Amino acid sequence: MSQGKIPIADVELTDEEIAAAVEVLESGYLVFGPNGEEFEERFADHVGADHAIAVSSGTAALHIVYHAMLEADDEVLVPSFSHISTASMLPMVGCTPVFCDVDPDTYTIDVEDARERITPDTEAIVPVHLYGNACDVDGVVELAREHDLKIVWDAAQAHGTEYDGVDIGSIPDAVTYSFYPTKNMFTGEGGMITTSDPDLAEQCRLLRAHWQTDKYYHPDLGFNYRMSDMEAAIGLEQLKKLDDMVDQRRENAAYLTDHLSDVDGVKTPRVEPEVNHSYHLYTVALDPAAFDIGRDAFIDELDERGVGASVHYPRPLHEQPAFRDRLGEKELPVAEEMADRVLSIPVYPGLDTDELATVADAVADVAAEHRV
Ligand SMILES: Cc1ncc(COP(=O)(O)O)c(C=O)c1O
C-alpha cells in the first residue's frame, strides 16, 4: 500500500525496465535503433496491424498522420471532449477541426452529431477511444464509408482496448498511441502509429526522420519525431506485461463498479457490449442535482480522505481560447456538461485491495454526506 494519499496514477520502473534502459546507455546507441525496430515489430504483432511506426510522442504521431493523410483546408470531424492534441495538430497542417458533441453515456464522439457537420470539404474523422473505452466503431466506419472519409483513431488512452473481439489498433486507416508515463503502457515520452496500409506506413516513416531516403538526401520534407532507443527498450519491457496490466485495470474497475453502481448521483462508466474497455481512466459523472457541493469540492473532499482524483477534461476543446479565437463560439451541450461533471479516480494496476476499498468508500462517503 502506498504511503499517504492514493495518487490518481502511479509510475514505477521495474528492475527489468531499468536494466534494459541502462543496457542502451552503456551501448552508446541512443537514437532510434535496434530496440526501436524490435518494439515496432512486436507492437504491430500485438495489435494485429501490418505496420507500426514508433515516434517521440502521441502528439507527434497525430501530427505525422495528419500531415500524411490530409491536405490544407480539409475539414476534420473531432470530438470536443478530448486532449488538446487530437485537434491541435490539425491547424498545424492547415486543416480545420470541426468539433462534434459526444455521447452522454460514453463521452466518445456522437456519430449522429458528426454526420450533421459534414460538408463537401470534410475529409476525415478522428474518433477518440476516451479513457480506454472504445467509441462507436461500427457507427464511425459506416459514416466514413457513406461519405468517403478517412479515419484516424486516437488511441492514446486505449492500449489493449478491443471492439467486437478485435484490438482497436488493427482497425483502418491509422491508429495513434501515446506512451506518456501514466498511460496503460509507457516509454517516458513516446508514441506509435499503427496501420495496415503500406504506403501510409512508408510516408509516416519518412516524415518521422526528415524524409531522408539516403544519407543527407531528402526528396521531400519531414520532422525529427524519432523515438530514442532507450525509450524503445523500456517500451519492449512494458509491452511484455501490457495484457496483464490491462487485465488488472479491468479487475480494479470491476471492483469499483461493483461498489459504486448503487451510489445515487454517481454514474459509473457505461461500456457497450461490443467493447472490452482497458480502463486507462476510471471516470464517473456526478449528477449536480444530487449533491449540495459541486464536482471540484467533491474532489477536495476525496483528497481529504486520502484519495487523489482528477478531471479529464475540465474544458471542452471548442471552449479553449486557442480554438475559440480561431473558430468562434460554438455550443456543444453534452461536452460542456460533462466537463463540469466528470472526475477520474485511481484504477491503476498497482492498487491493492485495501487501497481499492479506500477509493470506493471515499466516493460513497462523500456522496452520502453531501446528498440533498
Ligand atoms: C486522447 C489523447 N490524444 C493524444 C495525446 C497526446 O499524447 P502525448 O502526450 O504523448 O503527446 C494524449 C495525451 O494525453 C491523449 O490523451
pLDDT in tens, 83-109: 999 999 999 999 999 999 999 999 999
Nearest CA to ligand 1 atom 8: 58
Nearest CA to ligand 1 atom 7: 58
- 35 within some domain: yes
Task: Cite the DSSP H helix spans in 148-227.
Answer: 198-208
pLDDT at residue 2, rounded to an integer: 45
143 burial type by CB count under 10 A (0-12 exposed, 13-18 middle, 19+ buried): buried
User: Same domain for 153 and 216?
Assistant: yes
Is the CA virtual torsion 288, 331, 77, 209 positive or negative?
A: negative
Q: Are 77 and 126 in contact (CB under 8 A)?
A: yes
- 257 within some domain: yes
pLDDT at residue 3, rounded to an integer: 56
Distance from C-alpha of 70 to C-alpha of 190, rounded to nearest angstrom: 23
Q: Rounded to the nearest whole angstrom, what is the distance from the C-alpha of residue 159 to the centroid of ligand 1?
A: 12
User: Which ligand 1 atom is the nearest neighbour of the CA of 59?
Assistant: 11
User: Same domain for 39 and 171?
Assistant: yes
User: Same domain for 147 and 21?
Assistant: yes
Distance from C-alpha of 225 to C-alpha of 30, rounded to nearest angstrom: 14
Domain closes at, from 223, 240, 257: 240
Going by C-alpha positions, the residue among 253, 366, 355 that lies closest to residue 6 is: 355
- 255 within some domain: yes
> β-strand 51-55 against 75-79: which pairing, if any?
unpaired
* Angle between helical axes of 15-27 and 229-240 (0-180°, round to 10): 150
SS3 call for 36: helix
pLDDT in tens, 266-282: 999 999 999 999 999 99
Provide the CATH number for the domain around residue 123.
Answer: 3.40.640.10
pLDDT at residue 111, rounded to an integer: 98
Beta-carbon-side half-sphere exposure of residue 302 (alpha carbons within 13 Å): 27
Full 3-state SS string of 278-300: CCCCEEEEECHHHECCCHHHHHH
Domain closes at, from 192, 207, 240: 240
- 165 within some domain: yes
- 349 within some domain: yes
User: Same domain for 103 and 231?
Assistant: yes
Distance from C-alpha of 291 to C-alpha of 75, rounded to nearest angstrom: 41
Nine-digit cell string for 269 = 462508466
User: Same domain for 57 and 146?
Assistant: yes
Ligand 1 shell residues, CB under 6 Å: 57-59, 82-83, 85-86, 128, 154, 156-157, 178, 180, 191
User: Which ligand 1 atom is the nearest neighbour of the CA of 180?
Assistant: 10
Percent of residues, the chain, with pLDDT higher than 70: 99
Please state the rounded mean pLDDT for residues 330-336.
Answer: 97
Please state the rounded mean pLDDT for residues 209-227.
Answer: 98
Distance from C-alpha of 51 to C-alpha of 269, rounded to nearest angstrom: 32
Please state the rounded mean pLDDT for residues 162-180.
Answer: 98
Q: Are 178 and 156 in contact (CB under 8 A)?
A: yes
Whole-Å CA distances, 63 to 53, 107, 336:
13, 24, 26
Q: Are 207 and 64 in contact (CB under 8 A)?
A: yes
Strands of 162-163's sheet in order across: 166-167, 162-163, 275-276
Residue 362, pLDDT > 50, answer: yes
Q: Which of 83, 92, 225, 278 to mutate to test the pocket of ligand 1 (most atoms within 8 A of CB)?
A: 83
Distance from C-alpha of 93 to C-alpha of 72, rounded to nearest angstrom: 6
pLDDT at residue 4, rounded to an integer: 82
Nine-digit cell string for 289 = 442535482
Q: Rounded to the nearest whole angstrom, what is the distance from the C-alpha of residue 266 to the centroid of ligand 1?
A: 27
Distance from C-alpha of 130 to C-alpha of 277, rounded to nearest angstrom: 10
Please state the rounded mean pLDDT for residues 326-349.
Answer: 97
Q: Rounded to the nearest whole angstrom, what is the distance from the C-alpha of residue 95 to the centroid of ligand 1?
A: 19
In DSSP terms, 52 is beta-bridged to: 194
User: Same domain for 297 and 350?
Assistant: yes
Q: Are 11 and 182 in contact (CB under 8 A)?
A: yes
**The CA-based dihedral angle spanning residues 225, 229, 231, 236, taken in that order and rounded to the nearest 10 degrees:** 120
User: Same domain for 37 and 109?
Assistant: yes
SS3 call for 344: strand
Average pLDDT, the chain: 97
Domain that includes residue 261, residue range: 242-370
Q: Are 196 and 214 in contact (CB under 8 A)?
A: no
Longest dimension (CA), the chain: 69
Domain closes at, from 221, 240, 259: 240
User: Same domain for 87 and 203?
Assistant: yes
Please state the rounded mean pLDDT for residues 110-130.
Answer: 98
User: Same domain for 83 and 112?
Assistant: yes
Provide the CATH number for the domain around residue 342.
Answer: 3.90.1150.10
Residue 1, pLDDT > 80, answer: no
- 6 within some domain: no
